[in-house]
Chain A
């Protein structure tokens, strides 16, 4: 019982976070930057941070993750990190020849107050940025927000630096896919094309963070949104931002900077959310939904029908990042399950309202917790008070699942102890089928395991 210290009584503890349900901003900024082609992410801070972030991303995606670090010393903490960053920019262009360096800050550089805008323009003035190459940045102070905030800030940074309005509209739609798996981004692209939408997706980590085995180590894998295309995002007809927490900021920036109209949708996870996504695409292209997409939806409905008798009113606890949780909640309601505890460590407006909307009037007893003290410890306490039939969340949930002996489905970031999540989408109809299958398998495996001899049956 690893978590036997957890008590059922929820105590007041304003100064303390136990087993946090989130990580820090830079890791999200790093992931976002990997979705740009030929981009080298750079961590402006001490080496330790960068090593943590690279390791965690590697553990989740099982891919090489390259990033530079300003390698702060005690001196930089006193005099500022300008010299380190300038040096690093020179070295990185010389050694690794990226098209773009995406710098994010860390707690340390934020606290000492390094001015990245100024440092980057100094680098340009001093000729440290070769012609045609780019250095962009995002401020990602870790003591505000979470890894999702960092992702959002970097996507916004990408737009701020790169998007341009040339005055000539292009017949295309920007899609900002949010922090989802590379396979999800690929699926979003497939569906958009099928719906006749000429899409410009960024960031796009497909073919970067799920690169095929080729026998070579590609320092910059084939995927990632090309800088040219990101520049043209300023000429697009409109923007679809998937997941407000991760993608809205960039969409608004595009609107403000290049006058590209934007619409924010929830992540297309689950049947209803996917319907809305497909609908949004349909409005843009004006074509009818092709038969094979309708069939995918039909198969999903058919599958849910086959499964519904097992899901009936089951209590579910879920934790993770806001955008994922909102859509997942809605999907669980579709499956006739009851999301009773919903916990996120990521702060942000409207989370509770969005969840309540997703719940409709189906689960009035649902408890929604958000913010720094909404950690795994609190979730565990809630579960101890009144149990659940299923737990859904990232790898950190396994301790609670084990201690309380609850079926557990891994979903979200990070997943450190399984392989496969980055290869199969959970978005759209096919993704929903996969999620539903995982959920049902977890529940049924437990039933089989616990069944006494006489009620252990071949068919269920």
Chain B
């Protein structure tokens, strides 16, 4: 799914129809140009195909779609059952690629092949087949690739803008607002910046190993992390680009001076309120805890679905004592923590939203469904506003818990 934001590529789900229906434009990955990625194509495997194999159908569908839309590349996502019925998707991709003259790349996203992380890895493998196939002519020595941002609500545009102001060329954004041709020449960049959750970590590591391109882990969320990301990058280019550190400092202080007064206002109203965080990746959780602290809020529960052991140790250090740290929790546990800790805000994914509301707790979506950019300095301001709006909503005073609080 992480490849979907590549806007001028064709994305075909090889499998039953249902899977494709769920992927039709449900992530807010924005494109500044082509919108091809927002359509949902499926080979719609049916009973007969399951028995006889779906290779012919796949080839036919690919050819038709390529003729119709002239994409720059095509990605074929195999779903669970393709692995079981034994289609040789790679062979079909190779044939069609030779026939149509564009890259046709299989993505092994079979749902049963382990976790989300394995899915990310499969996506990176597909990308690795693209990177390096374009010309690197004319790329500045002061250049980066932005990896692991999906341009939800246009976030990649904000980040890109910062780097350009610092005098850094952005070669490719992978995959948010991505373009096939940019990705093909991504190996010309001097540095890879990998955004938190690690979806593109494998790609960065491979590029370091095979092409000698170093990478840095960054987070664009929250004031501290965002500034850190910019300073780290500036530091990396300090020799090659004199004055970059100064330019960065100026940029940061200018951005801060615009947002800080408003943030301070929100902070006054949010001071001492309690938050719970349950998100996909542990890295995101770190950033959120820091950003909430900036708003004067205490994170009393934090957890993630895909965190590793080290991540939890880091979380423990970051959080106050008494903060509950949960790993891959279930809804029952989550809601009992929310109640026990009497939180005012829950940050989670789509499935948790109604649980928070049932308890009478404000909610922010920090996964894929956010509509406002939360990255960068502007993003922090949006985040503060969103948190304030939901926490301070009068609706909570109508709930039993709110009524109780009013009385006491």
Contacts and interface: CB of A to CB of B under 8 A. Distances in A.
A19 interface: yes
A199 B40 CA distance: 43
B319 to A, nearest CB: 24
Contact of A142 (B17, B39, B350, B351): B17
A2 B64 CA distance: 20
A213 B360 contact: yes
Interface string A367-397: 0000010000000000000000000000010
Contacts of A108: 80-81, 84, 111-112
A22 B17 CA distance: 8
Interface in A37-52: 45-49, 51-52
A58 to B, nearest CB: 5
A64 B354 CA distance: 5
Given A15-B60, A24-B17, A215-B400, A62 B354 contact: yes
B260 to A, nearest CB: 35
B359 interface: yes
A410 B41 CA distance: 23
Contact of A111 (B38, B85, B114): B85
Interface stretch (B198-206, B287-295, B328-336, B377-385): B328-336
Interface string B353-381: 11101111000000000000000000000
Contacts of B80: 45-46, 48-49, 72, 77, 106-108, 111
B16 A24 contact: yes
A218 B332 CA distance: 9
A143 B84 contact: no
A112 B331 CA distance: 30
A56 B18 CA distance: 12
Interface in B47-71: 47, 49-50, 56-58, 60-61, 64-65, 68-69
B401 interface: yes
Interface residues of A, number: 64
A16 B61 contact: yes
Given A17-B42, A76-B112, A215-B359, A25 B47 contact: no
A73 to B, nearest CB: 6
A142 B36 contact: no
A107 B81 contact: yes
B44 A5 contact: no
B233 interface: no
Nearest to B338: A217
A49 B11 CA distance: 19
B62 to A, nearest CB: 9
A23 B13 CA distance: 14
B43 interface: yes
B84 A73 contact: no
Residue picked from B24, B44, B114, B399, most chain A C-beta under 10 Å: B44
B94 interface: no
A2 B61 CA distance: 21
B39 A18 contact: yes
Contact of B64 (A15, A26, A146, A372): A15
B111 A48 contact: yes
A138 B339 CA distance: 36
Contacts of B38: 2
A65 interface: yes
B46 A19 contact: no
Nearest to A14: B60
A47 B83 CA distance: 16
A216 B361 CA distance: 10
A55 B64 contact: no
Interface string A95-130: 110000000001110011000000000000000000
Contact of B61 (A15, A27, A95, A146): A15
Contact of A211 (B64, B65, B331, B358): B358
A456 interface: no
Task: Give chain A's interface secondary structure class.
Answer: loop
Contacts of B401: 215
B18 A25 contact: yes
Contacts of B251: none
Contact of B359 (A49, A144, A217): A217
A449 interface: no
A17 B359 contact: no
B132 to A, nearest CB: 30
A105 B355 CA distance: 26
Interface string B127-153: 000000000000000000000000000
Given A45-B80, A111-B81, A111-B84, A213 B357 contact: yes
A330 to B, nearest CB: 27
B85 A16 contact: no
Contacts of B58: 15
A107 B39 contact: no
B21 interface: yes
A147 B79 CA distance: 18
Contacts of B332: 95-96, 219
A19 B400 contact: no
A24 B85 contact: no
A106 B24 CA distance: 20
A58 B354 contact: yes
A16 B64 contact: yes
A141 B47 contact: yes
Contacts of B69: 5
A43 to B, nearest CB: 11
Interface in A130-150: 141-144, 146-147
A74 to B, nearest CB: 6
A59 interface: yes
A107 B79 contact: yes
Contact of A22 (B21, B26, B35, B350): B21
Contacts of A49: 18, 80, 111
Residue picked from B26, B60, B81, B332, most chain A C-beta under 10 Å: B81
B50 A111 contact: yes
A451 interface: no
B18 A64 contact: no
Contact of B331 (A45, A56, A64, A213): A64
Given A15-B60, A396-B24, A20 B354 contact: no
Contact of A77 (B20, B49, B83): B83
Interface of B: 15-22, 24, 26, 35-36, 38-47, 49-50, 56-58, 60-61, 64-65, 68-69, 79-81, 83-85, 111-114, 330-332, 335, 339, 350-351, 353-355, 357-360, 399-401
11 contacts: A3-B39, A13-B61, A24-B21, A58-B353, A64-B358, A72-B80, A74-B113, A108-B111, A111-B80, A215-B359, A372-B46
Interface of A: 2-3, 5, 13-20, 22-27, 45-49, 51-52, 54-56, 58-59, 62-66, 72-74, 76-77, 95-96, 106-108, 111-112, 141-144, 146-147, 211, 213-219, 345, 372, 396, 416
Given A49-B80, A107-B18, 18 more contacts: A16-B44, A16-B64, A17-B41, A24-B16, A25-B18, A45-B80, A48-B111, A51-B351, A52-B19, A74-B114, A95-B330, A142-B16, A143-B45, A144-B46, A147-B18, A213-B399, A215-B360, A216-B358
